[in-house]
Structure 1
Amino acid sequence: MDVDPRQWENIAVNDKDMHKIVLSYLVHNCFKDTMESFVSCAGIELPADHLEDMKKRKRIFHSALDGGVLKAIELTEELAPDLLENNRDLHFDLLSLHFAELICSRKCTEALGFAQMKLTPFGKMPKYDEKIEDFMSLLAFKEPEKSPMFHLLSSEYRQRVSDNLNREILAHANLPRYSAVERLIQQATIVRQSLNQEFGKDGNPLFSLKDFLEM
């Protein structure tokens, strides 16, 4: 029999389950040193191949995040040979990050050549036309960081693409795209919102995960 969601807060969670949740988060985000300390303290065994895959993902993730996108693409093709070939959206986003790197470095001539060689072939598919136009428009500004498309040069955009690359590599290895704690937060948020809609007709404010975490 399913447990009434209103009683979930009364359910005890044992240490073993908590360890799995924490370990899932550390492995998912490639926090190798922290994970090794946690595994040692908690007495958990981790398969050697699992650790090796995480080291490779960490290198790919940080290459994409820290301005080495071409290296990240190369390493991804070694680890998951058909991933970028089958995921055109991700491949385009990674190439666009390198284009943004060149723009930020004021290497406009090199950026134009790279775009013509690597980005414009995506224009054969209509869904990429607008994206290509947005990136190419950056070339028209002396200070692209102040252009209407400045967000394409932001650290937030780079973080989003790098996170997505990490998730797709995990999925390629038949592992969850999101860590256990992320899935739990997603589920808890939905349950809270559903209960609020059902029993919050007395004027109580809607549930906000942001507000809840800041309590």
Structure 2
Amino acid sequence: MAESKKAIGMDVWNREFQEVTVRKEDMNKLVMNFLVTEGFADAAKTFGFESGTKPDIDLATVKAGRMVVKKAVQNGHVLDAIEKIHNLDPAILYKYPKALFSLEQQFFIELIRYRRIEEAMIFALGALAPMAEQNGFLEEFERTFSLLVFYDVANNPVSDLLKMSRRNETARVVNEAILISQTNEKEAKLYSLLKMLAWVDKELDKKVTYPRLQDFSTCELEASDMISGCHTFSFSSSHPNI
């Protein structure tokens, strides 16, 4: 017979929560990291002024760098995006071949979108195919290349490549490469913490029953007889509350 799981009541849960202290400086750094990583340069500047928290990188490189590249990709201006990346750091696209392939792939897609078929064919065979073969992207190349087969580019099995979501995905991959080159991080620390929290919840579920969070965004607890709402941590910091 399987051993029954240990139960942790709300009284114990709340008592343990009350003993947790989070430094305000650490929370502010987490917020600043999120704002910088997501590209909210103006908000990061204001937050830094009000909280006394310094960003790890020059905010000018965020606003005039990553975000400009992201916007160019989302608008379908791939060559412009590549030029801007080279202005930031010529080595980025050579160090991160996935980002380079994604941009070249997107350029091919834009040629197809505007029915520049001959140019697309030449580019695919002369640049995209060798890049895909060299870096292990052949399957993705073949799927993208199949756009040439269909006369109606808007209604075919790979028409999703022509949607805005594809531009956004390319922008995400490129943004990640630039971010890693500048900060050695591919995403905001907040996302990593949430992933860790989800993993801990899953592991804890195997061993005990406890007042489990039902919704991370609202901090609502699972059972109706349990206290809902986020726990208020105590902060030890000289900075004012933000």
- Report the TM-score range of the alignment, normalised by the length of the smaller protein: 0.7 to 0.9
Contact 1:193 1:207 in 2 (8 A): no
Deviations 1:122-175 (A, max 9, x none): 254383332222111112223323221123223333222212222221222343
Count of aligned positions: 204
Give the structure with the larger helix fraction: 1
User: Which residue matches 2:116?
Assistant: 107
1:213 partner amino acid: S
Q: 2:40 aligns with which of 21, 26, 31?
A: 31
Shift of 1:199: 2.4
Question: Which residue of the partner structure matches residue 125 of structure 2?
Answer: 116
Residue matched to 1:3:
none
Tell me the CA shift for residue 24 of structure 1: 0.6
- Separation in structure 2 between the aligned mates of residue 149 and residue 112 of structure 1, nearest angstrom: 17
Q: Does 1:54 align with 2:65?
A: no
1:121 and 1:9 map into 2 onto residues whose CA distance is 56
1:30/1:58 contact within 8 Å kept: yes
- Change in Cα spacing, 1:71 to 1:89, as seen in structure 2 (3 Å) is same
Q: Which structure has more RCO (C-alpha within 8 Å, separation ≥ 6)?
A: 2
Q: Which whole-Å CA distance do the structure 1 matches of 2:16 and 2:74 have between them?
A: 38
**Distance in 1 (alpha carbons) for counterparts of 2:201 and 2:89:** 38
Is residue 2:217 matched to residue 1:213? yes
Paired letter, 1:128: F
Matched residue, 2:79: 70
Calculate percent identity across the aligned residue pairs: 26
Q: Distance in 1 between matches of 2:135 and 2:42?
A: 44
Q: TM-score, normalised by structure 2?
A: 0.72
* Aligned position for 1:166: 175
Q: 1:148 to 1:30 in 2, by over 3 A?
A: same
**CA-to-partner distance for each residue in 1:52-103, whole Å, 9 max, x for gaps?**
2213122122222221221221222232222212322221111111111222
* Structure 1 residue 43 displacement after superposition: 3.4
Q: Distance in 2 between matches of 1:174 and 1:106?
A: 39
Alpha carbon RMSD of aligned pairs, Å?
2.9
In structure 2, give the amino acid aligned to 1:87.
Y
> How far is the alpha carbon of 1:27 from its aligned partner?
0.5
CA distance in 2, matches of 1:41, 1:87: 36
Contact kept? 1:196, 1:207, Cα under 8 Å: no
Partner of 1:191: 200
Map Cα deviations across residues 18-63 of structure 1 (whole Å, 9 max, x no partner). 211111111011112222222233233447x612221312212222
Is the contact between residue 84 and residue 90 of structure 1 (CA under 8 Å) also seen in structure 2?
Answer: yes
Q: Distance in 1 between matches of 2:75 and 2:197?
A: 33
Matched, 1:150 2:159: yes
The Cα offsets for residues 171-193 of structure 1, whole Å up to 9 and x where unpaired, read as 22343211121111111111111
**2:17 and 2:80 mapped to 1: Cα distance?**
46
Aligned to 1:180: 189
Q: Based on CA coordinates, which of the two structures has the bigger radius of gyration?
A: 2
User: Corresponding residue for 2:99?
Assistant: 90
Q: What is the TM-score with the length of structure 1 in the denominator?
A: 0.80
Q: Whole-Å Cα distance in 2 between the matches of residues 94 and 8 of structure 1?
A: 49
- Structure 2 unaligned regions, length at least 5: 1-12, 221-242
The residue matched to 2:21 in structure 1 has which SS? coil
